[in-house]
Structures are given as structure tokens and as C-alpha cells.
């Protein structure tokens, strides 16, 4: 059986109100004619983040704001079963604790990402809508822009990313990229059949705006980014197909398109970032134990006008209760314990209390909450949910101090391109890349692992996603860094006279797309049958009120994904 996952614009998905059996629901998937793109998702793919972002640059002022509120809908299941009376089996679960080997710079970058997460969460929210986004994807795209920028654009991005303290960004514009490159490689470690992360960035540039050789080399060296010349001006549809094929190739065909429409013929570049995450709980939720319960937007003392499908679990999980912030935090590790979903629940939570928490929560608070968790016997109720969210981040970025990038008079991406090449012949771009379905190791090397920043061992384990095997691969030798020295000299030259090489291109869109599916089980659910919940847990957490959650990569201390859940919508009316 397959479920249908829809990436939507303003479309809403209404739940069936009659027979709520799984066969009825999944047999006839509700969707609207506004569904932009639908992809089959295997029933065993329990938790998938499909996170795409585009940054479009243009020579004309074409600011397109596309804001779609986050939508959460809950597939129906049978009522709460007798599993809830069983005793919990198995040992307690604790994530792989962050070690002390992280450098001062890595800690700085982690702290900066915490700050960006909280800043964007505060600035981009409107009203009582749910809000979800992928902080690491924002950083990935902006890192490429930072690599290309000089002058005011560079300074604003450095300030926004929190890199102006602790790094010599004034005289060495490449140090931050070295450190981000190291973290990006750590992010891709420990990938396997039950825990998979794929992260990729690319620049698609109009061919008569030639990309500097040094920039191409640096983008590939630090971030393994593809740089592709396309002809948006004469062949926009071919460019559209090429970009969407690239997206499909780098998400294992889970996302088949990034662009919903053919790009403008005035487009000069599209910078894209894709994050694909598929994780299986270390301890899955109770199969058959999910049931409908009220969700209290304004607190449990108020009336509820909607219901959610509540999943249940129990056992020893990372937990901490903070009396200063008046919140509880619970960790749900994924298999391998490289990443963890953390849930933050204010005491007696409501929309107002969650907003208050979001307003005064600091990066230091967030770090302290995560690091304070300890194994505790917990009974947990967490909503089963799908989240669809699309937004344009231009106004958010401007509110947070990044203005010149979106202004045709002040944007300066001189290290990306020297500007239009006069007399450049317009030729058809290459055909879209073929779908990657091969199991040859040469192709998999580029897609799954890069060793430039790995530790000094003769070989490393590489997980072959298609053959489900782990193999040892010789590490690549560090490439010549002559192009980096050229890049540094060019930056220092343009820094003294920023207007000298300004190519005159700027950003007019910063689109962020999210799709998330949270279910009880995982691709290896059968291996954990028999786990149940005891009602004798020391702590009970039931997320039937507004809450925060985020997915945290333990090794890099990076937040992959953040969600603020205030008002599940569409909902099932409470008629009892």
C-alpha cells in the first residue's frame, strides 16, 4: 500500500468524517486540484523531510511573495488499543552525547545556527499559524551566497549568520567555509538503511553570466556544489526540466520538482539547496495504539474544536524539566542515535504561552535544555502529522538585516561572476541529467560521501544506499588549493573597491519548501514488535496543546528542522 504525499500551494486537504479505518483513508486519498506535485511514498517511509529552497537572482525588480500557511492533517487509524497496559521492554534510550572534540569554531557555528533558528522563527511567523522550516538548508544556500559576495552584501550576511565574532572574516573570507565544509561532511556520516541524510546545493547560472572558475572550484571544494550553466533567456523550459531532474537525482526521486513553473527569461541564477532525511525511531510508537483525542489550542482548561491522532510510546527517554523556563523537553532518538527529535512543551501550554516562550528563548537556553536531558521513564503522547509549508523568506531576511542582497542598487556578488559576457553566443543547454538508478560505485561516491575534510585514516566506511552494504573506500587526497589563494586575493582586491567588479545581479526570491511526515513506525518496525507502554511512568507528556519540536544532529550540534505547532489545520471537529 502506498500513501500519497502532496506538495501544495494554498490547497487544503480535508479529512474524511465517516469511516476512519486505515483502508478507507488510504484507499481514497483526498486531495484538491491545486496540488502542484504528488509523489508516491512507500508506507514504510515513516519519517521523511523533503526540504527544498531556491534563491532566484534577476536583473530586474521582480519581487514575488508566495506565502502558504503550514498545514497539518492527520491520517485516521483505529482507536487506542490494549497495548497501553503492557509493560515497557528494553533498556533506556539516550542520544550519542556530544563529545568535547568539537572545536571552538564548530561550537561558534552551532551557536550561530541556534540563533538563526530562533530569529527566523520569531520574524517569519504570522498570527496563530503553524510554522516549520529547515535552518540547515537556509545556512547552506546563504553560505554559497556568502562565498560569492563582497562589500555590504558580505557584511550583512556575516552579521546575520553570527560570524562576526570569533572568526577573522574581515581578512580571511574562506575560514568560515572551511569550517562549514567540515560540518557538512560530519552531517553525512553514519548514513545507513534506517537512517539516511542527503544534503546538496547547486548554482544554475545564465550562460552569458559566466561563473568565475575560482568560485566553481571553491564551491565544489567546500560544499561539493554543482555549478551548471543554463540558458534561461532562450530555453526556459529546458532549464526548468534540467533543474527539476537535478532535484529528483539528489533526493532519491522523493522530490521530482523544485520549480512549480518555468523560470522568468530574466533569471540570471538559481541557487538551490535540498535536504532529504529519512529516520526510524530507536523505539517506535505503539502500532495500533493511535487514537483520536482533542487538541486544546488555548490550553486544556478551554474548549477544543478539533481532534488529532495521538501516538503513544513509553520507556526511558532523554528528559529534563526546566523550572526557570517552566518547560519540559523530551528527546526521541532515531536509530543509530546520530539525530534526535526534541519536543519542548511549556507547562499548561497554550498559543499565548508558546508565543511567550518563543519570544524570550535564547540560543544558550536551547543548548542548555538539550544538554540537560537525562534518561527518565516517560509515557508520551505525540500527534501523528503531515506538514506542508511554503514561504518566501525575502521579507524575513530584510527584517533581520539582510537588505542589500535583494536590492538591485546595492547587491554585490562580484566573486560569483564578472558580469555579462558581451557577444556571448546563446546555445541550447544540455539535456536534463538522467535519473540516477545505477548501483555503480563511481556514481555513488559523488552522491553519498566526500572525504576532503575527513579524519586521517586510509579508508572510511561508505554506505551504498542501493545495495544496502557498507564498504571501505580510499580517501581522496586533498586537491591543490591554488584557486583558494586566487579567490582570497580577489576578495581583498574587491573589498577595497567593491563597486569595481559588481556584476549587477541581485536576489528577488528566497523560496523555502517543506514536507514532513511523522508516523508511529519505521522501515524496520517489525524488529521491535512487542514494545508497550506502562502507565507507571514517572513522567507523562501529552502533546495535545501547542508545542515546539526540532530535529537535532548530535555530532555537529546542528538543527536540521524546526517546527512550531499551534493550531492543527485542517482538523476534525469535536462533536462529542
Q: Is 132 helix (H, G, I), strand (E, B) or coil?
A: strand
Average pLDDT score over residue span 482-488: 73
CATH architecture of the domain covering 5-11+52-61+129-279+389-512:
2-Layer Sandwich (3.30)
Please list, residue by residue across 153-179, b when 16 or more beta carbons sit within 10 angstroms of its beta carbon and e when fewer do: bbbbbbebbbbeeebebeeebbebbeb
pLDDT category at 177 given cuts 50, 70, 90 is confident
pLDDT of residue 298: 92
pLDDT of residue 40: 40
Whole-number average pLDDT of the chain: 70
CB-based contacts of 148, cutoff 8 Å, min separation 6: 215, 413, 414, 415, 416
Choice among 214-218, 316-320, 345-349 with the minimum mean pLDDT: 214-218
pLDDT of residue 346: 96
Sign of CA dihedral 165, 168, 174, 180: negative
Please list, residue by residue across 99-117, b when 16 or more beta carbons sit within 10 angstroms of its beta carbon and e when fewer do: eeebeebbebbbbbbbbbb
Preceding omega of 230 cis (within 30 degrees of 0)? no
Which residue from 167, 173, 252, 229 is spatially nearest to 484, judged by alpha carbons? 173
Which residue from 361, 327, 326, 362 is spatially nearest to 343, judged by alpha carbons? 327
The span from the CA of 425 to the CA of 22, in Å, is 58
pTM for this entry = 0.73
Average pLDDT score over residue span 480-500: 70
pLDDT of residue 352: 93
Q: Enumerate the H helices of 58-174 as residue ranges.
A: 104-124, 135-148, 151-160
The span from the CA of 412 to the CA of 206, in Å, is 17
The span from the CA of 247 to the CA of 435, in Å, is 10
* Domain spans, the chain: 5-11+52-61+129-279+389-512
The CA dihedral of 484, 487, 488, 491, to the nearest 10 degrees, is -160
pLDDT exceeding 70 applies to what percent of the chain?
A: 62
pLDDT at 432 over 70: no
The span from the CA of 307 to the CA of 15, in Å, is 11
The span from the CA of 15 to the CA of 571, in Å, is 7
What phi and psi values does residue 120 have, to the nearest 5 degrees?
-65, -40
pLDDT category at 192 given cuts 50, 70, 90 is low
What phi and psi values does residue 380 have, to the nearest 5 degrees?
-125, 140
pLDDT category at 278 given cuts 50, 70, 90 is confident
Contact 153, 410 (CB under 8 A): yes
Average pLDDT score over residue span 8-35: 33
Mean pLDDT is highest, among 318-327, 388-397, 504-513, 521-530, for: 318-327
Q: How far is CA 160 from the centre of its chain?
A: 18
pLDDT at 142 over 70: yes
Measured N-to-C along each axis, helices 175-187 and 135-148 cross at an angle, to the nearest 10 degrees, of 150
Say which residue, 216 or 35, is predicted with more confidence.
Answer: 216
The span from the CA of 124 to the CA of 390, in Å, is 12
User: What is the tens place of the pLDDT at every residue in 210-236?
Assistant: 888 888 888 888 888 888 888 998 999
Choice among 312-326, 376-390, 424-438 with the minimum mean pLDDT: 424-438
Say which residue, 91 or 3, is predicted with more confidence.
Answer: 91
Average pLDDT score over residue span 474-489: 60
pLDDT of residue 486: 76
pLDDT of residue 348: 93
pLDDT of residue 299: 92
The span from the CA of 313 to the CA of 226, in Å, is 42
pLDDT exceeding 90 applies to what percent of the chain?
A: 22
User: What is the tens place of the pLDDT at every residue in 239-255?
Assistant: 999 988 887 777 667 66
pLDDT category at 359 given cuts 50, 70, 90 is very high
Contact 60, 266 (CB under 8 A): yes
pLDDT at 472 over 50: no
pLDDT of residue 12: 32
pLDDT at 385 over 60: yes
Q: What is the DSSP string of 394-440?
A: HHHHHHTT--GGG-TTT---TTT-----TTPPP-PPPPPPPP-----
Average pLDDT score over residue span 329-356: 93
pLDDT category at 546 given cuts 50, 70, 90 is very high
| Grid cell for residue 356 | 511567550
The span from the CA of 423 to the CA of 404, in Å, is 29
**Residue 574 CA: distances (Å) to CA of 304, 305, 386, 571:** 7, 5, 20, 9
pLDDT at 186 over 90: no
Measured N-to-C along each axis, helices 482-496 and 213-223 cross at an angle, to the nearest 10 degrees, of 120
Which residue from 435, 408, 574 is spatially nearest to 507, judged by alpha carbons? 408
| Grid cell for residue 257 | 520538482
pLDDT of residue 44: 40
CB-based contacts of 487, cutoff 8 Å, min separation 6: 173, 174, 214, 215, 218, 415
User: What is the tens place of the pLDDT at every residue in 66-79?
Assistant: 223 333 333 333 33
Q: Enumerate the H helices of 479-542 as residue ranges.
A: 482-496
Amino acid at each position: 500500500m502506498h500513501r500519497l504525499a502532496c506538495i501544495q500551494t494554498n490547497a487544503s486537504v480535508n479529512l474524511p468524517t465517516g469511516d476512519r479505518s486505515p483502508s478507507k483513508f488510504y484507499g481514497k486519498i483526498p486531495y484538491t486540484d491545486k496540488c502542484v506535485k504528488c509523489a508516491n511514498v512507500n508506507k514504510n517511509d515513516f519519517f521523511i523531510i523533503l526540504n527544498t529552497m531556491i534563491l532566484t537572482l534577476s536583473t530586474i525588480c521582480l519581487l514575488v511573495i508566495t506565502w502558504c500557511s503550514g498545514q497539518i492533517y492527520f491520517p485516521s487509524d483505529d482507536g487506542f488499543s490494549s497495548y497501553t497496559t503492557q509493560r515497557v521492554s528494553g533498556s533506556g534510550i539516550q542520544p550519542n552525547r556530544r563529545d568535547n572534540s568539537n572545536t571552538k569554531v564548530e561550537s561558534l557555528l552551532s551557536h550561530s545556527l541556534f540563533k538563526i533558528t530562533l530569529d527566523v522563527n520569531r520574524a517569519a511567523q504570522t498570527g496563530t499559524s503553524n510554522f516549520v522550516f529547515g535552518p540547515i538548508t537556509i545556512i547552506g544556500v546563504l553560505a554559497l551566497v556568502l562565498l560569492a559576495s563582497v562589500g555590504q552584501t558580505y557584511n550583512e550576511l556575516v552579521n546575520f549568520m553570527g560570524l562576526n565574532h570569533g572568526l577573522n572574516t574581515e581578512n580571511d573570507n574562506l575560514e568560515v567555509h572551511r569550517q562549514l565544509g567540515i560540518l557538512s561532511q560530519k552531517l553525512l556520516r553514519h548514513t545507513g538503511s534506517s537512517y539516511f541524510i542527503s544534503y546538496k546545493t547547486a548554482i544554475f547560472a545564465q550562460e552569458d553570466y559566466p561563473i568565475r572558475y575560482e568560485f566553481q572550484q571553491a564551491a565544489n571544494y567546500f560544499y561539493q556544489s554543482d555549478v551548471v550553466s543554463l540558458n534561461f533567456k532562450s530555453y526556459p523550459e529546458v532549464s526548468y526540466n534540467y533543474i527539476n531532474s537535478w532535484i529528483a537525482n539528489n533526493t532519491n526521486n522523493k522530490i521530482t520538482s523544485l520549480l512549480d513553473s518555468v523560470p522568468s527569461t530574466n533569471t540570471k541564477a538559481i541557487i538551490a539547496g535540498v535536504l532529504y532525511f529519512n529516520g526510524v525511531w530507536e523505539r517506535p510508537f505503539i502500532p495500533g495504539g493511535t487514537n483520536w483525542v482533542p487538541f486544546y489550542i488555548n490550553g486544556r482548561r478551554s474548549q477544543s474544536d478539533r481532534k488529532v491522532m495521538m501516538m503513544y510510546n513509553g520507556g526511558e527517554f532523554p528528559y529534563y524539566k526546566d523550572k526557570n523556563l517552566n518547560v519540559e523537553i523530551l528527546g526521541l532518538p532515531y536509530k543509530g542515535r546520530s539525530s534526535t527529535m526534541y519536543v519542548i512543551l511549556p507547562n499548561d501550554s497554550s498559543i499565548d504561552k508558546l508565543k511567550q516562550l518563543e519570544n524570550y528563548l535564547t540560543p544558550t537556553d536551547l543548548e542548555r535544555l538539550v544538554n540537560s536531558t537525562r534518561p527518565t521513564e516517560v509515557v508520551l503522547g505525540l500527534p501523528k502529522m503531515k506538514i506542508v509549508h511554503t514561504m518566501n523568506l525575502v521579507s524575513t531576511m530584510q527584517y533581520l538585516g539582510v537588505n542589500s542582497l535583494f536590492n538591485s542598487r546595492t547587491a554585490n556578488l562580484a566573486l560569483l561572476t564578472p558580469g555579462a559576457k558581451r557577444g556571448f553566443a546563446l546555445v541550447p543547454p544540455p539535456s536534463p541529467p538522467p535519473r540516477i538508478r545505477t548501483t555503480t560505485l563511481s556514481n555513488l561516491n559523488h552522491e553519498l560521501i566526500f572525504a576532503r575534510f575527513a579524519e586521517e585514516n586510509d579508508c572510511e566506511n561508505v554506505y551504498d544506499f542501493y545495495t544496502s552494504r557498507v564498504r571501505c573506500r580510499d580517501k581522496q587526497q586533498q586537491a591543490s588549493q591554488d584557486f583558494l589563494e586566487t579567490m582570497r586575493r580577489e576578495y581583498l582586491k574587491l573589498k577595497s573597491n567593491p563597486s569595481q567588479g559588481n556584476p549587477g545581479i541581485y536576489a528577488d526570491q528566497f523560496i523555502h519548501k517543506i514536507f514532513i511526515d511523522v508516523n508511529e513506525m519505521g522501515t524496520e518496525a517489525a524488529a521491535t514488535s512487542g514494545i508497550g507502554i506502562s502507565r507507571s511512568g514517572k513522567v507523562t507528556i501529552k502533546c495535545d496543546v501547542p508545542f515546539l519540536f526540532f530535529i537535532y544532529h548530535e555530532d555537529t550540534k546542528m538543527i536540521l528542522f524546526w517546527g512550531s505547532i499551534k493550531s492543527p489545520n485542517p482538523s476534525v471537529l469535536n462533536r462529542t
